Structure 1
Amino acid sequence: MPTTIHLVRHAQGIHNLCPENHKYRDPDLTELGHQQCANLKSLFPDHGKVRYLIASPLRRTIYTALESFTPFDPSSPAAQKTKGSPPVIATPLLQEVSTNPCDYGSEVSKLRQEFGEKADLSRVTDDDDWLNKDKGSPWAPDYTRLRTRAMQARTWFRELSGGADTDVHIVVVTHGGFLHFLTDDFDGLSETYGTGWNNTECRSYHFADLTGKDPEAHLKETNASWRKRRGSQIPLTESEHMEMRAVVKEVLRTEFAPWNESDEVAVEA
């Protein structure tokens, strides 16, 4: 069986209630958000198969991961893998796109105090450079940098799994905007609603190239996942995807990163 990557958007946060709440930095989940986590936990069919649980370092994604996928079944691969170590691996590669205050994380010292042994924050730098989204930063909301960051996240998932064709399940909890870059699928994205993903929506993917030779480690949604959410609807064609990418690129250039197209910048998992 090939590696399965289950991608999840975080539960409802306070910032999701209204645009005015975008001013709150690294906001909490709402009461409904906590209930959404409980619902996802009850409906997710593969708890016993998950080996790695990965999240963005923002509080809403870490809480979604903890409440939806832990504690692990003691006999599961995830429990065996994380025995004696934190269950959630946090990486800045998965942080959200925009420069709204709600999409900035907390300092790593605060995260360590809040989550303690529940989250592995070793990939979140002590100097908090991942909180810098200014021009020239690898974390800037720039089309090329975002595609580079998504590619590096996918290749890291493949390395963790031991190869694209290994029977490993990985759960990744991240953000609505970044999920479009992670999947290279911008279907459903609009200017009024910044993502085509619902809160706690879970979609499952395999690596498109099972030989493991694809340098960008592209993902392809499983047939079962597509049918569950879209039925018999036909996916967008590659030319339609290209048209949507061009729109996203222009929006990022004019609204979030009004500077010249960047060179690729290396970031670490």
Structure 2
Amino acid sequence: MPPTIVLNYTLHDPPLTDEGHGQCTVLRESLKQRLEGETDIAIVVSPLKRTLQTALGSLDWLIERGIPITADAGWQETSAKPCDTGSPVSKLAAEFPSVDFSGVDPVFPDKTSPAGSKYFPTRGAIIARAQSCLRSLYQRPEKWLIVVSHGGFLRMGVSGWWFSNSDYRIFDFDGSPDTELPLKLVQWESTVAGGLGQSTTSPVEIGSGLREDEEEPVSAP
């Protein structure tokens, strides 16, 4: 009999599972080979527990060398369900002391009140947030920018590509933030199936699957 998978959206800011920690080990070895000899690197991470644990579990060898790791609320997941809503920064900073939380948006983890409107789970808000994240990255001086984020946001807002759990893709910027055109990414041919070869090779249209701003949210099953 195949295993039964039950998705529980009511868990607040859940940590990685044992399987997730195991996937980090595989990811770690791949990234070490890919980035061997590189030093001009920065790490940006979504301030949710599972992404923080993924960053520390797969990039510890860089952090130990003094590579900065910075939490950025812009890279959090798309929905406002408990599983995609973060914990107070004070608690996260105590649990993950090697991460710099000083620049996290003070409104975090609010995603439902008017103050947190930029994090609403709507098409307009998500695409605008993704563009803000990309423009912020573009301004950074480092050669390599490692972003530990979430599959939904990366697919629907940022890149238009699916990401399997713990897999990664490598992109270059296409265009300039000095124009009014959206900032886009061009993927390396070597990661079209994911850096671990575990992701689908079929892209999707950015914004597809997201509800429009005027639509009512759909409750989780």
- Where does residue 224 of structure 1 map in the other structure? 190
Partner SS state of residue 9, structure 2: helix
- Where does residue 102 of structure 1 map in the other structure? 83
In 1, distance between residues paired with 2:63 and 2:100?
Answer: 19
In 2, distance between residues paired with 1:247 and 1:59?
Answer: 25
TM-score by length of 1: 0.67
Higher helix share: 1
Instruction: State the identity as a percent.
Output: 27
Q: 1:22 aligns with which of 3, 6, 9?
A: 9
In 2, distance between residues paired with 1:226 and 1:135?
Answer: 38
1:133 aligns with 2:111: yes
Structure 1, gaps ≥5 residues long: 1-16, 163-167, 188-195, 258-269
In 1, distance between residues paired with 2:36 and 2:60?
Answer: 9
- Residues 48 and 183 from structure 1, CA distance in 2 versus in 1: closer, same or farther, beyond 3 angstroms? farther
- Residues 250 and 149 from structure 1, CA distance in 2 versus in 1: closer, same or farther, beyond 3 angstroms? closer
In 1, distance between residues paired with 2:125 and 2:191?
Answer: 28
- Where does residue 54 of structure 2 map in the other structure? 64
For 1:151-162, list aligned pairs within 5 A.
151-161=131-141
Letter of the structure 2 residue corresponding to residue 26 of structure 1: D
Q: What is the CA RMSD across the aligned residues, in angstroms? A: 2.9
- Where does residue 104 of structure 2 map in the other structure? 124
Letter of the structure 2 residue corresponding to residue 30 of structure 1: T
Runs of at least 4 residues off by over 6 Å: none
Higher RCO (Cα < 8 Å, 6 or more apart) = 1
- Residues 91 and 256 from structure 1, CA distance in 2 versus in 1: closer, same or farther, beyond 3 angstroms? farther
Structure 2, gaps ≥5 residues long: none
CA contact (8 A) 2:119 2:126 kept: yes
Q: How much does 1:131 deviate?
A: 1.7
- Where does residue 114 of structure 1 map in the other structure? 95
CA contact (8 A) 1:130 1:139 kept: no
In 1, distance between residues paired with 2:9 and 2:211?
Answer: 22
TM-score by length of 2: 0.80
1:46 aligns with 2:26: no
- Residues 182 and 214 from structure 1, CA distance in 2 versus in 1: closer, same or farther, beyond 3 angstroms? farther
In 2, distance between residues paired with 1:47 and 1:57?
Answer: 27
Letter of the structure 2 residue corresponding to residue 248 of structure 1: L
- Where does residue 173 of structure 1 map in the other structure? 148
In 2, distance between residues paired with 1:247 and 1:114?
Answer: 34
CA contact (8 A) 2:157 2:207 kept: no
Partner SS state of residue 38, structure 1: helix
Q: How much does 1:174 deviate?
A: 0.4
In 1, distance between residues paired with 2:158 and 2:81?
Answer: 22
Count of matched residue pairs: 206
